[in-house]
C-alpha cells in the first residue's frame, strides 16, 4: 500500500470513528432525557405520597440520572441501527427485536413489527396500535396473552383502554408445582381494586390459567418453527426499516403456509370471521414489503431474504401436516 493510500485509509477510519462517537453522544442524550423524565415522575409520586400521609417516605430517594456517554456505550459500524441484546442461554448479540401477535385458534400472525428496543415491556402499546389497523371482518380481539417480560401497569391499563382483557404474567411461572397448588381456586377479590390486582386475580382462577396456558402452544411454536424448522434464524438486510419489511415478509410466508394447512386439512378457525379479510391484509402487507425493498439499491440482501421465503414456500408445498409444523 502506498503512502497516499495509507493516509486516505486512516482519514476515512478517523471520520468513521468520529461519526460513531457522534451517534453514541446522541443516544446518550436521548437516554438521559428519558431517564430524567422518569426521575422527575418518581420524585413527584414520592412527594405526593408524603403529602397525603403526612410522613416522610421510607427508603432512599430516587437517584438522578447521569448525563453523557457511559464507559460501555458503543455503536456497531456494520449496522448502526441494531443494538446489543441478551440472548437465550446467556451472552449478548447484535440484534433487532422481532414481535408478532398470533391468533390462538389459527396460529396466524395478525400483526408483526420489529424494534431496536430490547425490553419487551415497551412493545405492548405498538402491538395494540398495529391491531387497530386490522379489517373489521377479522373480528373482535377479546384477550391478550403475554409472558412476564411484557408486564407493567401501563400495559395492563393500555389493554383495558382498548377493550382487550389482558392476561400478562406478573412474574415467572413456578415449574413443577404441586397438584393442590396447580388446581387451587383463587380467593375472592373486591370490586374496587386496581386493574393490575384484577388481572392477578384473573390469572389465579381456573379459567384464567386455561387461557394463559394457550400461550405455550400458540406464539411459542410460531417462533420456534420459523427459526428452527424453516431455517430463518437471522435477518439478511441492514437498517431498521429494511428489517421491519423483511420480518413482515416472513410473517406473510408463514400465514400463507398456515392458510394452506387450514384449508387442506378441514380445520376452521373460530377466531377469524373471514379468510377474505385476511387475504386483503396479506395483500397489503406484501405490497408494503415490496415497496420498501424496491426503494433500496442493495438488491443482493433483498434476494437473500426472498430465498428464505422461497424455502418456506417449498415447505408449504411438500411437507404439510395437520398441526402446520
Mean pLDDT of the chain: 79
Is 287 inside any structural domain?
Answer: yes
Query: Would you say residue 140 has pLDDT above 90?
Result: no
- For residues 115 and 97, the answer to whether their CB atoms sit within 8 Å is yes
**Residue 313, C-alpha cell as written in the block:** 414456500
> Tens of pLDDT along 9-56?
888 888 888 888 888 888 889 889 988 988 898 888 888 888 888 888
Residues 174 and 251 in one domain: no
Residues 170 and 311 in one domain: no
Is 64 inside any structural domain?
Answer: no
Residues 248 and 164 in one domain: no
List the single range of 91-105, 189-203, 262-276, 289-303 with lowest mean pLDDT: 289-303
The per-residue DSSP string of 64-91 comes to PPPPS--TT----SS-TT-EEEE-TTS-
Query: Would you say residue 259 has pLDDT above 80?
Result: yes
**Model pLDDT, residue 166:** 92
- Residues 248-275, mean pLDDT to the nearest whole number: 74
More confident residue, 139 or 202: 202
Residues 173 and 198 in one domain: yes
Global model pTM greater than 0.85: no
Residues 246 and 116 in one domain: yes
Query: Would you say residue 308 has pLDDT above 50?
Result: no
For residue 162, name the pLDDT band (cuts at 50, 70, 90). Answer: very high
Is 296 inside any structural domain?
Answer: yes
Q: For residue 165, give the 3-state DSSP assignment.
A: strand
In whole angstroms, what is the distance from residue 85 CA to residue 73 CA?
Answer: 13
- Least Cα distance to 239 among 302, 163, 152 occurs for 302
**Model pLDDT, residue 320:** 28
Residues 234 and 212 in one domain: no
> Tens of pLDDT along 185-194?
666 666 667 8
**Model pLDDT, residue 323:** 32
List the single range of 216-220, 268-272, 294-298, 320-324 with lowest mean pLDDT: 320-324
CA–centroid distance for 89 within its chain: 19
Is 134 inside any structural domain?
Answer: no
Residues 248 and 320 in one domain: yes
Query: Would you say residue 1 has pLDDT above 60?
Result: yes
Residues 211 and 237 in one domain: no
Residues 209 and 238 in one domain: no
Query: Would you say residue 305 has pLDDT above 70?
Result: no
- Residue span of the structural domain in which 38 resides: 3-56+69-75
**Model pLDDT, residue 80:** 85
Residues 47 and 186 in one domain: no
- For the chain, how are helix, strand and coil distributed in percent, rounded to 5? 55, 10, 35
**Model pLDDT, residue 222:** 92
Q: How many domains does the chain have?
A: 3
Query: Would you say residue 128 has pLDDT above 90?
Result: yes
Query: Would you say residue 219 has pLDDT above 50?
Result: yes
Amino acid at each position: 500500500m502506498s503512502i497516499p493510500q495509507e493516509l486516505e485509509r486512516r482519514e476515512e477510519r478517523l471520520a468513521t470513528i468520529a461519526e460513531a462517537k457522534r451517534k453514541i453522544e446522541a443516544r446518550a442524550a436521548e437516554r438521559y432525557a428519558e431517564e430524567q423524565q422518569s426521575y422527575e415522575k418518581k420524585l413527584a409520586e414520592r412527594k405526593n405520597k408524603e403529602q397525603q400521609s403526612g410522613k416522610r417516605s421510607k427508603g432512599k430517594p430516587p437517584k438522578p440520572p447521569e448525563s453523557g456517554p457511559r464507559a460501555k456505550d458503543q455503536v456497531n459500524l456494520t449496522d448502526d441501527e441494531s443494538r446489543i441484546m441478551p440472548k437465550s442461554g446467556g451472552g449478548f448479540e447484535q440484534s433487532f427485536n422481532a414481535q408478532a401477535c398470533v391468533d390462538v385458534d389459527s396460529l396466524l400472525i395478525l400483526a408483526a413489527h420489529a424494534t431496536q428496543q430490547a425490553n419487551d415491556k415497551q412493545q405492548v402499546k405498538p402491538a395494540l396500535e398495529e391491531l387497530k389497523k386490522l379489517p373489521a371482518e377479522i373480528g373482535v380481539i377479546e384477550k391478550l396473552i403475554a409472558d412476564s417480560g411484557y408486564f407493567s401497569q401501563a400495559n395492563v391499563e393500555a389493554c383495558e383502554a382498548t377493550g382487550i382483557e389482558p392476561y400478562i404474567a406478573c412474574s415467572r411461572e413456578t415449574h413443577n408445582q404441586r397438584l393442590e397448588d396447580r388446581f387451587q381456586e383463587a380467593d375472592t377479590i373486591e370490586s374496587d381494586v386496581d386493574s393490575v390486582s384484577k388481572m392477578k386475580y384473573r390469572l389465579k382462577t381456573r379459567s384464567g390459567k386455561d387461557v394463559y396456558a394457550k400461550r405455550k402452544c400458540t406464539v411459542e411454536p410460531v417462533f420456534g418453527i420459523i427459526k428452527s424448522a424453516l431455517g430463518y434464524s437471522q435477518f439478511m438486510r441492514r437498517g431498521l426499516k429494511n428489517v421491519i419489511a423483511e420480518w413482515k415478509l416472513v410473517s406473510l410466508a408463514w400465514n400463507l403456509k398456515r392458510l394452506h394447512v387450514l384449508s387442506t386439512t378441514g380445520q376452521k378457525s373460530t377466531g377469524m370471521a373471514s379468510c377474505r379479510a385476511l387475504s386483503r391484509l396479506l395483500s397489503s402487507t406484501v405490497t408494503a414489503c415490496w415497496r420498501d425493498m424496491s426503494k433500496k439499491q442493495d438488491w443482493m440482501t433483498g434476494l437473500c431474504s426472498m430465498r428464505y421465503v422461497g424455502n418456506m414456500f417449498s415447505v408449504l408445498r411438500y411437507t404439510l401436516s395437520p398441526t402446520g409444523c
